[in-house]
């Protein structure tokens, strides 16, 4: 790093560009190879990985099933570190090459849905669940859903990247994004001081969107020792909300789907049936 770096007139990528995700970062879109996506037996086909953005959707699907809706789905693993998201089939579903991506084969013709927030709204409206019917509460849920979509990149791509993943520790970058991460946690903490859930008393897709990011950070489940670094204990209302959501059975299942790290008993690389949580976790079938 140099204090006298001057940006060039026209930027050009450097090879290698360093960092944990260097192999998948590139300045152009589109597929890098031909590869069809698999299709299972259910109308809903999810292509994802258990990052916070991926967990939003699997939590909602498991909550729908828990509530008695016919929301059975196949979840296929997309290994972003291996470039699966740049296969031609995936790019056809999501031209932005990001997980999660969903195909709804119950629609004619089959309908693609991409961007995690869009998928949450699509499924909530399709099944008539987890999005309040009362106009005021619905608006509040949408407010917080879009707050998450705009805010989380500062937590993940900003704080998380420079605190954990960047090949060098840059004090300026860490300080800048830590300040913003703490400001966002304070926003949540103040709101949750007077609300059980994000839209009031009703659990909704807004909670499912925010919890995998901010709930897991304050619980010490994201970005190494970030909870200590961020002094997460001071956000008492966020911790209370996070603990309540974490205790929901559907959430426990949802965060396992397409998970490839941690305890093998909590990894379900692919999910095609409710029984897979008992029969197909990686401790039972081994590492492929």
Kindly tell me if the per-residue pLDDT of 23 is higher than 90: no
CATH for 135-254 (2.60.40.10, 1.20.1050.10, 3.55.40.10, 3.30.1010.10): 1.20.1050.10
Burial 142-158 (b: 16+ CB within 10 A, else e): bebbebbbebbebbbeb
Q: What local confidence, expressed as pLDDT, does residue 1 receive?
A: 59
pLDDT of 22 reads 67
The residue extents of the domains of the chain are 135-254
Tens-digit pLDDT profile for residues 234-257: 999 999 999 999 999 999 999 999
Q: Is 174 helix (H, G, I), strand (E, B) or coil?
A: helix
The reported pTM is: 0.95
For 146, phi then psi, to 5°, come to: -75, -25
149-201 pLDDT, tens digit per residue, is 999 999 999 999 999 999 999 999 999 999 999 999 999 999 999 999 999 99
Q: What is the pLDDT of residues 66-93, one digit of tens each?
A: 999 999 999 999 999 999 999 999 999 9
pLDDT at 89: 98
Place of tokens 């008695």: 68
- The CA-CA-CA angle for residues 115, 159, 213, to 5°, reads 45
């Amino acid at each position: 790093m140099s204090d006298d770096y001057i940006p060039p007139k026209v930027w050009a990528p450097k090879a290698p560009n360093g960092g944990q995700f260097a192999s998948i970062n590139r300045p152009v879109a589109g597929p890098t190879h031909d590869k069809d996506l698999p299709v299972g037996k259910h109308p809903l086909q999810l292509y994802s990985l258990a990052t916070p953005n991926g967990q939003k959707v699997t939590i909602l699907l498991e909550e729908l099933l828990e509530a008695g809706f016919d929301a059975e789905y196949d979840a296929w693993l997309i290994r972003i570190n291996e470039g699966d998201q740049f296969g031609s089939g995936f790019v056809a579903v999501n031209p932005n090459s990001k997980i999660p991506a969903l195909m709804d084969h119950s629609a004619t013709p089959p309908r693609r849905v991409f961007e995690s927030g869009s998928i949450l709204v699509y499924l909530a409206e399709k099944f008539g669940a987890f999005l309040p019917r009362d106009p005021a509460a619905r608006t509040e849920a949408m407010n917080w859903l879009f707050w998450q979509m705009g805010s989380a990149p500062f937590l993940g791509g900003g704080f998380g990247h420079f605190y954990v993943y960047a090949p060098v520790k840059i004090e300026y970058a860490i300080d800048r994004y830590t300040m913003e991460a703490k400001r966002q946690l304070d926003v949540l903490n103040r709101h949750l001081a007077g609300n059980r859930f994000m839209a009031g008393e009703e659990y909704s897709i807004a909670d499912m969107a925010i919890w995998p990011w901010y709930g897991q950070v304050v619980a010490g489940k994201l970005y190494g020792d970030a909870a200590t670094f961020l002094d997460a204990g001071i956000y008492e209302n966020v911790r209370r909300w996070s603990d309540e959501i974490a205790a929901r059975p559907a959430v426990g299942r949802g965060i396992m789907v397409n998970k490839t790290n941690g305890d093998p008993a909590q990894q379900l690389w692919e999910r095609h049936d409710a029984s897979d949580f008992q029969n197909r976790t990686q401790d039972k079938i081994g590492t492929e």
